[in-house]
Structure 1
Amino acid sequence: MSETPANNQGDKGPLLTLSSRFAEWLASVDASLSLTTYQAGRLFFVGRKVDGGVRAHERMIEQCQGLWTDGQSLWTSGLYMLWRFENMLRKGETTPAGADRKFVPVEGRVVGRIDVHDIGLGEVDGIRRPVFVNTLYNCLATFSDTASFRPLWRPKFISALVGEDRCHLNGLAMDGARAAFATAVSRSDVADGWRDRRHDGGVLIDVATSEIVASGLSMPHSPRLYGGKLWLLNSGTGEFGTVDPADGIFTPVCFCPGYARGLAFIGHYAVIGLSRPRRGGAFAGLALDQRLTEKDAAARCGLVIVDLDTGNVVEWLRFEHTIDELYDVAVLPGVRSAEAIGFKFDDIQREITIERRTP
């Protein structure tokens, strides 16, 4: 982990461009945002300055992907680690830069290079622990005190627990403390077989029953339960929408101008992460390409804020250079601005805190 300023412009010009009312939208929902950029290895926070402008803050985490936070604790994944950060500010305290959340790393779990994707916080044997998608081993897992990970569940079409990324299990929807639904790019049971089914092999799986509740999807990601509905991103077609578990029908709500991954909600808004598709490999030749051509649009990397009542994009944030691919996004409710301590400079050595207990 290392630090570089998120607003560093250099010779390439501004890193971020924003819709004109983005800061006002953050204020209206009383929240800030966090996102992960695994290709560029960054954990980003986007919030408001004391004067009302937008502030971006980043920390470098190699292959940063999965993200979970409730505004006080934060879990994220790295190349071979799971990291836990905790907010060390009391109510009313701020950092010198005006942030009202200061996330400090307090725990690191070595899980190996298992390609951790979505992370939730669930209950395992009566204890609250991260439940994460272990993509390499095609399963849901948690950390172990004696091994790299502890498997919790795998799709019934996966015949063995092996490190072959057979179906590209990636997304996880939590229902409270319970893992409820998972997405996979295919039902393949051979090593790397999912790449052959990117166009229409995607499935949504009910974790409790292991039954497939929706199929025919194109590289689905980020299933989420919110407002009594089951939402997901049909990334290969660029669509954000809902799935009815009773009949498996996917109903699009809007088109996203990019490869959509990362989904969070606040109020009647969805926050959706977008990536520029890589040329060649897993992103090539998807229906998304044709949809963008039809709309005379280029794929973007950034965020779009979608009004759930209308399906319209009301605000947006765009990375102009350096960052091409996002993985996850999260909302920090009640937080104006957040920052984190990294590992490169001396801050981590001096950041010593004392546990506060109620007498």
Structure 2
Amino acid sequence: MKQPQQAKIAPFQLTHTPQVPEILHRLGCSILLSTFQAGKLIAISPKDENSMVQLARNFTRPMGITFSDAYQKMALASFNEVLQFRNTPRLAASYPNKPNVYDSLYIPTQTNYTGRLDLHDLSYGENDQLFAVNTLFSCICTFDTNYNFIPYWQPDFITELQPEDRCHLNGMALKDGKPKYATAFATTNSRFAWKENLTQTGVLIDIETNEIILEGLGMPHTPRIINGELYVLLSATGQLIKVDIQNKSYTVITELNGFVRGMSFYEDYLFIGMNKLRQNSSSFAHLDVAKLSNFAGIKIVHLPSGSLQGILQYQSSVDEIYDVEVLPDVFRPNILNNSTELFTQAINTEEMSFWQRNEP
């Protein structure tokens, strides 16, 4: 007797709770997420109040994302480079494959070849300077045209810059245009030593003073200053915490019941990345939150109340998310990577933009 065939799940199939399209449509924004596991930068946008559309672009091991609203720029850390993009609405309107569909188009305008630094968080700072967490060398760095990276700061317990990922420095938050806070998995000072007890040794560091504000954290990620307050994700416990800097303590805002990483704030809402953990992972399988981490996607939290407002959940292709970024005032973004024929045809200057046509 023939068994009934199960319906195949389409690649990157995304489901969501009913209120998600309405939230994005009302806020007038789109979401960007990076998934290094699937090798994609994905934009999720509201079509209307009831449905959404997504666009996925190929990049090699995409990690940190940052967006500069003032300069209409975006940057992405990938396997061995940092790419910077410029929004070009004039080119978006005349996009050859789908004219008059997109309201923005991010095209690569600059690439820094960094080598394999395992870059994590990125952020634009004062005067549009780009900062990155250089996890391999246990430092925060910047970039220019002469070197692969320029060290900006390192924790005082790191005695020398070596490609050894000594403490798993991963996150940073900027204040007044400069890096102010950083997260690491430990205060260790030798190659991969942070792996020894990674669920109980995480720290939050004041970059200006090198003071450790919090310690004993469970895999801290994604520190963000929101409305003057500092928030951090604890991946090992699935918690969003608010930090009391003066008293060196924190309160739990909400339990997210999964491995959390990547967070962006817009108009009272937090968009937080969720990860599906591999049960055979030597690093993560023993976590208390591992059994709860059964999907990858985004949870939407209303920050003033701490209440969960919506969930986006991948049914296929995406298991791990690194970063999440909100694009304000964007209903239908498009992104070009630098490996397509269309990229070579996009021309943008201060005064004009056009698509080159192939010669007959």
1:38 and 1:314 mapped to 2: Cα distance? 26
Say if 1:58 and 1:339, in contact at 8 Å, map to a contact too: no
Query: Highest Rg: 1 or 2?
Result: 2
Query: 1:76/1:298 Cα in 2 relative to 1: closer, same or farther (>3 Å)?
Result: closer
Query: 1:117/1:298 Cα in 2 relative to 1: closer, same or farther (>3 Å)?
Result: closer
Q: Which string of whole-angstrom CA distances, capped at 9 and with x for unpartnered residues, describes residues 215-260 of structure 1?
A: 1101100000001210010111110121111122121111123210
Select 1:41's aligned residue among 35, 39, 49: 39
Pairing 1:54-203 to 2, within 5 Å after superposition = 54-71=52-69, 72-90=72-90, 93=93, 95=95, 96=99, 98-123=101-126, 127-203=127-203
1:244 and 1:184 mapped to 2: Cα distance? 18
Aligned counterpart, 2:355: none
Aligned counterpart, 2:356: none
Q: Which string of whole-angstrom CA distances, capped at 9 and with x for unpartnered residues, describes residues 73-104 of structure 1?
A: 11001100000011111599575262211001
2:297 and 2:346 mapped to 1: Cα distance? 32
Counterpart residue identity of residue 245, structure 1: I
Query: 1:268/1:347 Cα in 2 relative to 1: closer, same or farther (>3 Å)?
Result: same
1:91 and 1:214 mapped to 2: Cα distance? 47
* RMSD over equivalenced CA pairs, Å: 2.0
The alignment status of 1:11 with 2:8, answered yes or no, reads: yes
Aligned counterpart, 1:334: 329
Aligned counterpart, 2:3: none
1:326 and 1:176 mapped to 2: Cα distance? 28
Percent of aligned positions that are identical: 32
Aligned counterpart, 2:4: none
Aligned counterpart, 1:347: 342
Q: Bigger shift: 232-241 or 305-314?
A: 305-314
Say if 1:143 and 1:149, in contact at 8 Å, map to a contact too: yes
Instruction: Give 3-state SS (helix, strand or coil) of 1:352's partner.
Output: strand
Instruction: Give 3-state SS (helix, strand or coil) of 1:159's partner.
Output: coil
Aligned-residue offset at 1:298? 4.9
- Where in structure 2 are there 5+ consecutive unaligned residues? 1-6, 353-360
Say if 2:29 and 2:331, in contact at 8 Å, map to a contact too: yes
- Where in structure 1 are there 5+ consecutive unaligned residues? 1-9
Query: 1:94/1:26 Cα in 2 relative to 1: closer, same or farther (>3 Å)?
Result: farther
Aligned counterpart, 1:218: 218
Q: Which string of whole-angstrom CA distances, capped at 9 and with x for unpartnered residues, describes residues 131-152 of structure 1?
A: 0000000000011322110000
Query: 1:342/1:50 Cα in 2 relative to 1: closer, same or farther (>3 Å)?
Result: farther
Say if 2:172 and 2:224, in contact at 8 Å, map to a contact too: yes
Aligned counterpart, 2:288: 287
Counterpart residue identity of residue 8, structure 2: D
Say if 1:257 and 1:274, in contact at 8 Å, map to a contact too: no
2:135 and 2:293 mapped to 1: Cα distance? 29
1:57 and 1:166 mapped to 2: Cα distance? 36
Aligned-residue offset at 1:25? 0.4
